[in-house]
Amino acid sequence: MLADAIVEAIRLAVTRIPDDVVLALREAYEREESEIARFNLRNILKAIEISKTESIPVCQDTGTLTFFIRAGIESPYLGELEEAIIDATRRATQEVPLRPNAVDVLTGRNSGDNTGKGVPVIHWELFEGDSIEIALLPKGGGSENCSALAMLTPSEGWEGVKRFVVEHIKACGGKPCPPVVLGIGVGGGADYAMKLAKRAFLRRLGERNPDERIAELEEGLLEEINALGIGPMGMGGRTTALDVKIEVAHRHPASFPVGLVVQCWANRRAFLRVKPDGRVEVWQ
């Protein structure tokens, strides 16, 4: 059953931090000179190990679930996919369990099952084919609160992008539970820049944008942000960010939109592939 596989992907995402993220955290621990920074990173790594061993969520905030779907229009499961995602989200809330994080904006009432108007968030992309690929991103509220959009003028260009990102992360300090991962979307419109920024988290840490020019900007921003000295949990140290990811799109001549989405150290994700014969692969 498709919903069963999605439940297991949600469980994997919230109870096991991907290996590339764990490696980055361990490397950060090894290079830290501040004892308080090492203490915080040691506790983060301990939490990750307990979560994996006990199969419990690594953080009490299991986030809002976002699904990025690339679906073949000839897949026999396309028509049932949205219903399966909603059903799986409800079931995972009870079975994993997940903290109920879906609140009505007018009444303040919690739905109790992580579903509601517009949630879970589902982004669709269709292509000619018969398979379905799903990327799952649980996103915590604390780091999400440090996300931002800047509508720069074209004359500000990439120097403006760098200035905006560095100044904003400096102002956030320890709020998003660093060391963080930054997703940056440049171009498109305001909405698409933010979507690009969030989708950037699906790349593994250390995986650079295939455009060498963008890759250099990613590395340069990572260096500048770590030079801020905010450090793990905002208490000082050499590692404020584990990585910076930039995705781009063409823009209007009069606009230079920059979407910035901040992810905490718990950079959670999982992937599924639904084959035409009904078999489902789940991985991180």
252 lies in a domain? yes
Find the CATH number of the domain harbouring 104: 3.30.1330
- At residue 1, the pLDDT reads 84
Instruction: Please report, for the chain, how many H helices and E strands are present, in that order.
Output: 8, 9
Q: Which residues neighbour 57 within 8 Å (Cβ) at sequence distance 6 or greater?
A: 14, 15, 51, 96, 97, 98, 99
Q: Which residues neighbour 36 within 8 Å (Cβ) at sequence distance 6 or greater?
A: 231, 235, 236, 237
83 and 160 housed in the same domain: no
Query: Which DSSP helix (H) or strand (E) runs through 4?
Result: helix 2-15
* Overall number of domains in the chain: 2
- At residue 42, the pLDDT reads 98
- At residue 12, the pLDDT reads 98
189 and 75 housed in the same domain: no
85 lies in a domain? yes
Query: Which DSSP helix (H) or strand (E) runs through 12?
Result: helix 2-15
- Strand-strand pairing, 180-188 and 148-152: unpaired
206 and 123 housed in the same domain: no
Rounded to whole angstroms, the Cα distance separating 149 from 141 reads: 17
Positions in the chain whose pLDDT score sits under 50: none
User: Angle CA(47)–CA(57)–CA(21) in degrees, nearest 5?
Assistant: 55
Rounded to whole angstroms, the Cα distance separating 47 from 204 reads: 21
CA atoms within 13 A on the CB side of 188: 17
73 and 210 housed in the same domain: no
200 and 250 housed in the same domain: yes
Q: Which domain holds residue 208?
A: 142-263
152 and 181 housed in the same domain: yes
- At residue 117, the pLDDT reads 98
8 and 128 housed in the same domain: yes
